[in-house]
Copies of this chain bind each other. A is one copy, B any other.
């Protein structure tokens, strides 16, 4: 028996909830019946994976008319129906609120903030915490890269490279183009939680939440209490 085999037995036993580290290498119970190959390029995503994304209540029932929200007053035909239930499709209200918060200085909300935002936005359409998390990540990153593109476009412009390059360097540092950009340095100084805290938070059910601490954390957040 080779090391490699040992590892594989260990791994298998592990995933099958067997007691491992017994060094026994006992019975190799037959593998779970092979399901259709999931290693292919998955044309159009196998349904089980889709259902795994949001196990709302088993994938049996199709989410057809699941608007716990009502009267979308947006004139757009932006219905947030998740027909196949794949990815979050934000409503106008949701986008609006998120951008408000972003303008207000929110960049990397921590777990509690994500939870709050999610609850609020949930009034306007189906949403999960991870959507909020990703939205801020993406929004921030794309603002940043747009800014960079702009400044580079300017500085690469063949004419009058002197004055403009200075100005756009300022812009690149987030001084000119849009005050949305994070204050100065990347890596502001850490101590941001995110997802896993949400996890912990939910596991303990509102009991052991210290009000003072929560308060403080909330107060921590608005990075720019004064509008620059």
Contacts and interface: CB of A to CB of B under 8 A. Distances in A.
A200 B32 contact: no
A55 to B, nearest CB: 6
B202 A48 contact: no
Interface stretch (A76-84, A167-175, A218-226): A218-226
A216 B38 CA distance: 9
Interface in A1-51: 4-5, 7-8, 10-12, 14-17, 20-21, 31-32, 34-35, 38-42, 45, 48-49, 51
Interface size class of A (residues with CB under 8 A): 35 or more
Interface in A72-104: 93, 97, 100-101, 103-104
Given A42-B191, A216-B48, A101 B55 contact: no
A129 interface: yes
Given A208-B57, A208-B58, A11 B200 contact: no
A11 to B, nearest CB: 3
Contacts of A38: 216, 219-220
B196 A116 contact: no
A93 to B, nearest CB: 8
Contacts of A116: 14-15, 17
A213 B128 contact: no
17 contacts: A8-B104, A8-B225, A15-B218, A20-B120, A34-B219, A38-B216, A40-B189, A48-B216, A49-B191, A51-B210, A53-B197, A54-B200, A55-B204, A55-B213, A56-B208, A130-B199, A198-B199
